[in-house]
Every structure is written in structure tokens, then in C-alpha cells.
Amino acid sequence: MSLPSDFLWGFATAAYQVEGATQQDGRGPTIWDTFCAIPGKIADGTDGSVACDSYNRTAEDIALLKRLGATCYRFSLSWARIIPLGGRNDPVNQAGIDHYVKFVDDLLEAGITPFITLLHWDVPDELDKRYGGLLNREEFPLDFENYARVVYKALPKCKNWITFNEPWCSSILGYSTGFFAPGRTSNRAKSAVGDSSREPWIVGHNLLVAHGRAVKVYREEFKPTDKGQIGITLNGDYTYPWDPEDPRDVEAANRKIEFAISWFADPIYLGEYPKSMRKQLGDRLPEFTPEELALVKGSNDFYGMNHYTADYVKHGDGNPPPEDFLGDLSTHPYSKSGECIGPETQSFWLRPNPEGFRGLLNWLSKRYGYPPIYVTENGTSIKGENDLQEPEILNDVFRYNYFRDYVNAMAKAVSEDGCNVRGYMAWSLMDNFEWAEGYETRFGVTYVNYEDGQQRKEKYSAKKMKEIFDAVIEKK
């Protein structure tokens, strides 16, 4: 089992989770700054104002990447650093642009290929206040297109672009459950505003259209000279039927992936929403206008895949509540016969299941015609890791085993099954602000000591990453 000799591997982060420096050099507020300020929204009451202080430590981060042997690095830009108010008629902040220009130059000089995500959830707060942010079908895609153009123009040396990270999370967690910014939900105990039965489907639609606009601009105005590629990153678990003998569970297991991934991937690759979604949601799922469909269909040069875990799926009763977003089903860590998906971690939603990674790579490849795939996130938390002290906290053998098993499963999907995977970015380069879970949950291969000046120390998994990939990548 092997990966091609030009296979890229490295690590991933996101601006709000690592940069800090939220008041520095003209950055504007984002919906996450606003959300974190609401008491009770973040588990430990923290925010991303300092985080890993990566904005001020780019040289340190690049030195770390080099030490670990990484050949690529995925990071996101803070839109509010580049256009502090966000809109197409708002001023551009040159200091924000200069920061990222230097960062890309320094990465390339270190021999590391940058993968840039344009938006990893941190929408400029002004756009949310001005016109409802992601809910606005006309304004948001135009403002995102303008921001994308500003960035492409400033960073021609970057050849790998991702429009959005995990639109499912922005839509469902931001507008259905209210766990993520801006926190809208039908649950009035949590939010005075929101409609969980409608808003997430509107937001998902608008993100697809905005993605299509940003891709069109890149392909028409920049790709001919810059010769880069662009896609979107989608998240989703693999699924197994709770009872493999029950055709309703078999169907539900497939439907879960459709509601999570095909919601976005079907319009991009096949030109329409999944029939299972249309059947359940009816007119709550927007229809594409001909102009929108022209923007969305065929708008991926590659598929960005974020993947962590798998679930056993049990069918529902055929009467899902209006706020249901799973597809009339429930997920379980154990199957009917008592088999377990995998061991517990610090994250309630994550249990390691490397075979599921291979399974999902195949599922996606078959449905979408074997597109080039970059794994843009994959990793694990460890139960109780945050309670450990040095040096125990550095001995993350559980995480090393996760990476070894998942990378080997991916290598089999490529060499034995014919999946076209071109690169892999582990989540994450370092412990960071884990959104609603604050700093209590750690995903890094590098330990960050938040109490002692954001000091970074490589864990066991960090030091073993190159060895894992050397064992499966063909020698040149």
C-alpha cells in the first residue's frame, strides 16, 4: 500500500482558533468575538483574543512545521483583518494583507505549500448586523466574491484555495442548534431569534452560491496566470447501519451522509440537492435559480475532506420534527449486536474508526466520479488530556495510533481502491481554541501552555508524523 511520491502532508489550523491579536493592526470584530462575549456560550468562558498568539509568532510556527517535516500547511485568513467591516464598498486594511503576504512568502521559502481557507466561520460582525450575514441571499455572496478577489490579487503565489470550511457547521450549529456563532435557534431558552426549521437551509444555499461566485472569479480572472486550484471543504462521518439486516437502517445510514455531505456536494458535482433532502424538507430547502446553478455546478477543482469519526445509524419513525437536520434517524456508538465504533475521546462526537475513513473515501469517490481529494482535516482529542501535566501531556500515544491507523486506511483507499487522494492535513498543528468547548479540548500534535506565555512543545505524535508518512509515500 502506498501513496504517490508527490503526495503532500502537513497540518491545519484556522484563524480564530490560533491567531489571537483580535485588536491588532486594524482587525474588525467577527461574529465569534461577539458570540464569545455572551455569558454561557463557551464552556470555560474563554475566547480567541489571545489563543496561540500565532499572529505574532508566524516565524515560530513555520520553524515548527519545518522541524516536523511537513510539506504543506492549511490555514485560514481572517476576513475582518483584510476588510474590517467586510463589505464590497468598505475600506481594505493594508496591514492585514501585508501580514498574510509575508506569511505566504515565508512558508514558500521554507519549502511548505500553503493551502488557504478564505472563511473558517469567522464572518465579519458588521455584515451580520448590516443585513443578517449568511442569511442574505443577495448581499452575502457579492461581499464574499469581493473579498475573495482582493485576496487572490494580493496572494498570487498561493496555488491552493478553499472557499469555505464546513458549511454544514456554519448552517446547522450557527442557525439550527445555536451552539456556534451567531447562535440563532428556535430554542428560546438559548436565543430570542432564529428558526431552526428554515434558516439553516437558507444559509447552506447562500454559502453554496457564495462559493460559486468566488470560484468563478478565480477561474476567470486569476487561474489563467496563477495556475492554481480551488475547492470547498465539507465535513461528514462515515456510517454503518445499526442493524445491517434492516433495510430501513441501511437506507438511513446512507441518508445521514446525504444530509451531511451531499447537501453541498450534490449541487456542486451533480447539479441538484439530494432527493432524500427534498423529500423531507420540501420548500424549506431553497430552489436554485438558473443563474445560481450555473455558478454552483462544476465549481470544485478538488474535494476538501474533513473527517474524524463514524456512527451506527438507526432509522427514525417517519415523522421527523421540523427542526430535524439528520434525516429522520439517530446515531449510536454501539450497533444492535453490541459492536462499538471505537474508544471514547474528550469530544462527545468523536470515536476513532479508521475503516470508516476508507469507507467514506470510497463512498465519495463513487458518487462524485473519483475527484481529486485533499484531506483538509483529520485528528482526535484524548479523553482527560487537558487534566494532565507535563511531561505526561506530551505522551499522546493514543493520537499517534489514530494518525497511523487513519493514514494507513487512506493509503489502502488510494493503492487498493483507486481513490484519488493528493494530500493530507492533520488537525491540528497545535492545541487551540476549540470553539464552544473553549480551551478544555486539545487536538494539537503540539502542546500549547496557555498559562505560560503560549509556549509550544511537540508531543509524541508530532515527532512521529514524518515516520508515518515516510512508510507509505513512494520514494522519488
The 10s digit of each residue's pLDDT in 28-38 is 999 999 999 99
386, amino acid identity: N
pLDDT for residue 476: 86
Residue 435's pLDDT band, with cuts at 50, 70 and 90, is very high
> What number is the average pLDDT over the span 137-158?
99
Clarify whether 251 is annotated catalytic.
Answer: no
How many CA atoms within 13 Å lie on the side-chain side of 150? 28
pLDDT of residue 284 exceeding 80, the answer is yes
Q: Could you say which DSSP state residue 286 is in?
A: P
Cell 475521546, residue located: 345
Mean pLDDT over residues 195-219, rounded?
99
Q: Say if residues 142 and 88 touch (Cβ distance below 8 Å).
A: yes
pTM: 0.98
Per-residue pLDDT tens over the stretch 325-353:
999 999 999 999 999 999 999 999 999 99
Strand partners, 304: 233, 374
Average pLDDT rounded to a whole number, residues 253-262: 99
Q: What is the pLDDT of residue 6?
A: 98
For all residues of the chain together, what is the average pLDDT? 98
The catalytic residue among 19, 126, 145, 166 is 166
Look at 102-106, 148-152, 378-382, 450-454 and tell me which has the smallest mean pLDDT.
Answer: 450-454
Catalytic residue among 258, 292, 377, 458: 377
- Give exposure, 156-180, as e/b (b: 16+ Cβ within 10 Å): eebbbbbbbbbbbbbbbbbbbbbbb
Burial class (CB in 10 A: 0-12, 13-18, 19+), 220: exposed
- Predicted pLDDT at 367: 99
User: Alpha-carbon distance 212 to 263, whole Å?
Assistant: 15
Mean pLDDT, rounded, for 192-218 = 99
- Residue 1: is its pLDDT beyond 80? no
Residue 377 annotated among the catalytic residues of the structure: yes
List the alpha helices (DSSP H) in 218-326. Answer: 223-226, 247-257, 263-270, 275-281, 290-296
Task: List, for residues 226-250, the tens digit of each pLDDT value.
Answer: 999 999 999 999 999 999 999 999 9
| pLDDT tens per residue across span 31-72 | 999 999 999 999 999 999 999 999 999 999 999 999 999 999
